[in-house]
Amino acid sequence: MRIGLDVMGGDFAPDSIIEGAVDSLKHLSANEKLVLIGDESSILRKLGEMEIEPSLFEIVHTSQVIEMADHPAKAFSQKKDSSIAVGYGMLKNGNLDGFCSAGNTGAMLVGASYTVNMIPGVLRPALVTVLPCVDDRDFVILDVGLNPDCKPDVFLQYGILGSIYAKHVLGKDNPTVGLLNIGEEETKGTPAVKAAYELMKEYPGLNFVGNIEGNALFRETMTDVIVCDGFVGNVIIKMGEAFHHLYKSRNLKDAYFDRLDWENIGGTPIVGINANVVIGHGISKRKAIMNMVLQTRGVVHANLAQKIKEAI
Amino acid sequence: MRIGLDVMGGDFAPDSIIEGAVDSLKHLSANEKLVLIGDESSILRKLGEMEIEPSLFEIVHTSQVIEMADHPAKAFSQKKDSSIAVGYGMLKNGNLDGFCSAGNTGAMLVGASYTVNMIPGVLRPALVTVLPCVDDRDFVILDVGLNPDCKPDVFLQYGILGSIYAKHVLGKDNPTVGLLNIGEEETKGTPAVKAAYELMKEYPGLNFVGNIEGNALFRETMTDVIVCDGFVGNVIIKMGEAFHHLYKSRNLKDAYFDRLDWENIGGTPIVGINANVVIGHGISKRKAIMNMVLQTRGVVHANLAQKIKEAI
């Protein structure tokens, strides 16, 4: 297995990215190779400072950088020797099994659609986040930002994609799927959500348990998968970040709230494209980068993109 | 000032409602009269058990009850001697200055539109919640459930309504207004939210500070007012409830997280109608009912409906 890591992407690139890469090494097995994509002299300089043998990694030199503020499509097209463009090229050619970056999210999405493309039959890709419940289960939430306005058939397909993720990446048998809504009754919500309810209820093989309200999130009552549009999903994960921040700022100590730290959660896989790609938070440092790499490994290990191809 | 309280509405009616009414007495001044609307014998029985002098209240007997599971419009039309219908009748006739209930939310909304009506010029009424920031300020969020799909002009008007609330009920000068979105940039979000940004930016007198992301919620960076559609707003307040529940269940102790208890927050005023009406959580007990009554007093004291009429 070969995992590509964009060393140039993120607010703390390249140093924090390389530190996270080094930390992830001890979790990777001999046949799992981490490919550092970025400016070779920076990589060698940093590894030297850390007294880490460069041969533990594969290094692919790139000469350009897509900055966080760059226009995504323009930067992706024009900076052909950037770490993001090179990473996607390697993914496409089969030189990588997975690719992750904490860089320009827009460019990562552009790269996905320009290079590896959507899986045929997928209506809209989604960003997936895995969050911890208080009872030590994890749950899958999608979409968390790609598609702010969803149509009913997209909601249904997110239920299917989320189930595949929960089954193959998290190892859940017959995962339960809920539809985020503002009431338990079928008649609640926007027209699109109401229509999605009808589609999901009837869909064979989907373990749909109905509407889930915001007060079930993170609790014992949570489903394994929760489906929502990318607007609401984005607000949910960021509000979780806000609460974690408040928890820390109040000097509270609790094992569960510690797990809510986004740095422990890693990145956000894009599901529905022909490759295993994970996007990290731009402010990722050492720990978050390590978890992003390990999450990418999990997605590759589950053969997620292939599993979706077979199911859709 | 006369505040009507629906004694028959809510999962723990009438006993918990009456207990909350009794607790609120010590916060009301001599010219603030609490009118208990419901079955007189139940009210007298409960007040007797509590050894409370019934003359501290005004009691308006009603013979019918709109149950939590009743069809809102049908129940409101058919049960003319229910506490909700009688309360709205009194509001309309000027016999009450404000009315609150933890009963059937749908029937409360139907009552608002059948009886007191919207203020001319208001596009859609909203449910408002006031929540605490970690820096001891309160912020106003609307809509939290009435209008799951908002058009741009409705978002703009929610900004205006929220500002009036923050100014007159919370006493904030020139309150800051944010638009909940999934990124800070103007170009983020759904088409409706993007268009709302343009309208809000240009609107004279609105102290609009731009897009606010989910990770600003509850924090020092929070605006005084935040505008969102009723779907997202509902998820936010319920997710806040979920976090408070987790905080309690983990036996954490913190003054700020204690304030997030919805029982301290009271009810949810309907803004945009020709009367001061507050809706409580169906599971409200003693403390939540007391806070709902006091919040209704605050809304009446601010003369909210009249202030909106003058501004719209």
**B165-223: per-residue pLDDT in tens?**
999 999 999 999 999 999 888 888 999 999 999 999 999 999 999 999 999 999 998 99
CA–CA separation, A100 and A294 (whole Å): 10
Altogether, the residues listed in chain A come to a count of: 312
Considering CB atoms only, which of B148, B182, B245 is closest to A145? Answer: B182
User: Which CATH number is associated with domain A123-263?
Assistant: 3.40.718.10
CA–CA separation, B58 and B35 (whole Å): 5
Residues in B closer than 8 angstroms to A257, CB to CB, are 246, 250, 252
What is the phi-psi region of residue A261: left when phi exceeds 0, alpha when psi lies from -120 to 50, beta otherwise? beta
Going by the DSSP 8-state scheme, the letter that residue A113 receives in this structure is: I
Considering CB atoms only, which of A182, A231, A249 is closest to B134? Answer: A249
Altogether, the residues listed in chain B come to a count of: 312
pLDDT of residue B58: 97
Q: Is A123-263 the same fold as A1-119+272-312?
A: yes
- Distant-in-sequence, close-in-space partners of A71: CB < 8 Å, separation ≥ 6: A106
Q: ipTM above 0.90?
A: yes
What mean pLDDT is predicted for residues B221-227? 96
Tell which of B179, B239, B256 to mutate to test the A interface (max A CBs under 10 Å): B239
**B261-305: per-residue pLDDT in tens?**
988 888 999 999 999 999 999 889 999 999 999 999 999 999 999
The verdict on a CB contact (< 8 Å) between A236 and B214 is yes
The verdict on a CB contact (< 8 Å) between B239 and A242 is no
**B110-129: per-residue pLDDT in tens?**
999 999 999 999 999 999 99
- B126-153 as b/e, with b when 16 or more CB fall inside 10 Å? bbbbbbbbbeeebbbbbbbbbbbebebe
Q: How far is CA B311 from the centre of its chain?
A: 20
pLDDT of residue A69: 87
Series of mean pLDDT values for 10-residue runs along chain A (312 residues): 97 96 96 97 98 97 94 95 98 97 94 94 96 94 95 98 96 97 89 97 96 96 96 96 95 94 90 96 93 96 95 90
The verdict on a CB contact (< 8 Å) between B231 and A191 is no
The CATH architecture that domain B123-264 belongs to is: 3-Layer(aba) Sandwich (3.40)
Going by the DSSP 8-state scheme, the letter that residue B41 receives in this structure is: H
Computed from CA positions of residues A297, A283, B254, B288, in that sequence, does the dihedral angle turn out positive or negative?
negative
The verdict on a CB contact (< 8 Å) between B232 and A235 is yes
pLDDT of residue B68: 86
Computed from CA positions of residues A268, A234, A147, A224, in that sequence, does the dihedral angle turn out positive or negative?
positive
pLDDT of residue A296: 97
Question: Where along chain B do its domains lie?
Answer: 1-120+272-312, 123-264
**B239-264: per-residue pLDDT in tens?**
999 999 999 999 999 999 999 998 88
SS3 B138: strand
CA–CA separation, B68 and A184 (whole Å): 14
What is the nearest CA distance from B295 to chain A, expressed in angstroms?
23
| B270 DSSP β-pair partners | B127, B277
CB atoms within 10 A of CB A174: 12
Tell which of A139, A243, A249, A251 to mutate to test the B interface (max B CBs under 10 Å): A243
User: Which CATH number is associated with domain A1-119+272-312?
Assistant: 3.40.718.10
pLDDT of residue A266: 82
- Closest-approach residue (CA) in chain B for A150: B190
| B129 DSSP β-pair partners | B141
Three-point CA angle B42, B45, B46, nearest 5°: 85
Q: Which two tokens stand for residue B129?
A: 């919640």
Computed from CA positions of residues A216, A219, A225, A231, in that sequence, does the dihedral angle turn out positive or negative?
positive
The verdict on a CB contact (< 8 Å) between B256 and A243 is no
Residue A32 and residue A1 in contact, taking contact as beta carbons nearer than 8 Å: yes
Share of chain B above pLDDT 90, in %: 93
CB atoms within 10 A of CB B195: 16
Residues in B closer than 8 angstroms to A250, CB to CB, are 134, 254, 256-257
pLDDT of residue B233: 97
Residues in B closer than 8 angstroms to A256, CB to CB, are 246, 250
- Closest-approach residue (CA) in chain A for B222: A242
CATH superfamily of B1-120+272-312: Isopropylmalate Dehydrogenase (3.40.718.10)
Please, what is the angle between helix B15-25 and helix B286-301, to 10°? Answer: 50
- A 213-242 residues with CB < 8 A to B: 213-219, 228, 230-232, 234-239, 241-242
- Closest-approach residue (CA) in chain B for A237: B214
